[in-house]
């Protein structure tokens, strides 16, 4: 699973979140800023998903499957559809939190700069964080979870 955060700008084709999502004063943690009423949950479900197997946890946080799979030469020759990574970047996602272990899948970190260049995005505006969690296991410690939450909180504050 990957978690990606969205930085909305005027150039994004996605709708701006409703005012109640933009600031949440008094929120003590990232988790507490998730939708808590049925109307907020409905608003989240109405946001377009950047890739099919994804969902909005908050208006600024999308959770999705691993967003990268190298294309084979045959796929490149057929000019296959853009990578999921490209779709997330095109949707405005600028911070990626990768929860996979290094041996599980091909890392997309080395490909972020090239994908940004192809889409006209400054690679300096994109962050990648890797917090590996073994499949079907819990994080190794509460401190490890706090590190992940700190990245999410920091990204949310920057909006």
- Highest mean pLDDT out of 22-31, 39-48, 68-77, 125-134: 125-134
pLDDT of residue 14: 40
Tens of pLDDT, residues 39-87 = 777 777 888 888 888 988 888 888 998 888 766 666 655 555 457 889 9
Which residues, including other chains, have CB under 8 Å from residue 56's CB and lie 6 or more apart?
Answer: 44, 45, 47, 49, 62
Tell me the whole-structure pTM to 2 decimals. 0.67
Tens of pLDDT, residues 107-121 = 889 889 999 999 999
Q: Which contacts qualify for 121-124: CB closer than 8 Å, 24 or more apart?
A: 121/89
Domain regions of the chain by residue span: 2-158
Assigned CATH topology for domain 2-158: 3.90.190
């Amino acid at each position: 699973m990957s978690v990606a955060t969205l930085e909305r700008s005027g150039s994004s084709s996605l709708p701006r979140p409703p005012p109640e999502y933009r600031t949440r004063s008094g929120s003590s943690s990232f988790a507490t800023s998730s939708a808590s009423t049925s109307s907020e949950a409905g608003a989240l479900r109405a946001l377009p998903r950047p890739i099919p197997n994804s969902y909005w946890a908050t208006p600024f946080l999308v959770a999705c499957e691993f967003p990268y799979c190298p294309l084979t030469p045959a796929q490149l020759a057929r000019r296959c559809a853009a990578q999921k990574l490209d779709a997330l970047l095109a949707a405005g996602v600028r911070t990626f939190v990768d929860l996979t272990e290094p041996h599980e899948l091909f890392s997309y970190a080395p490909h972020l700069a090239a994908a940004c260049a192809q889409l006209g995005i400054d690679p300096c505006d994109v962050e990648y964080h890797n917090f590996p969690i073994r499949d079907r296991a819990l994080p190794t410690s509460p401190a490890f979870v706090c590190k992940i939450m700190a990245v999410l909180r920091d990204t949310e504050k920057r909006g």
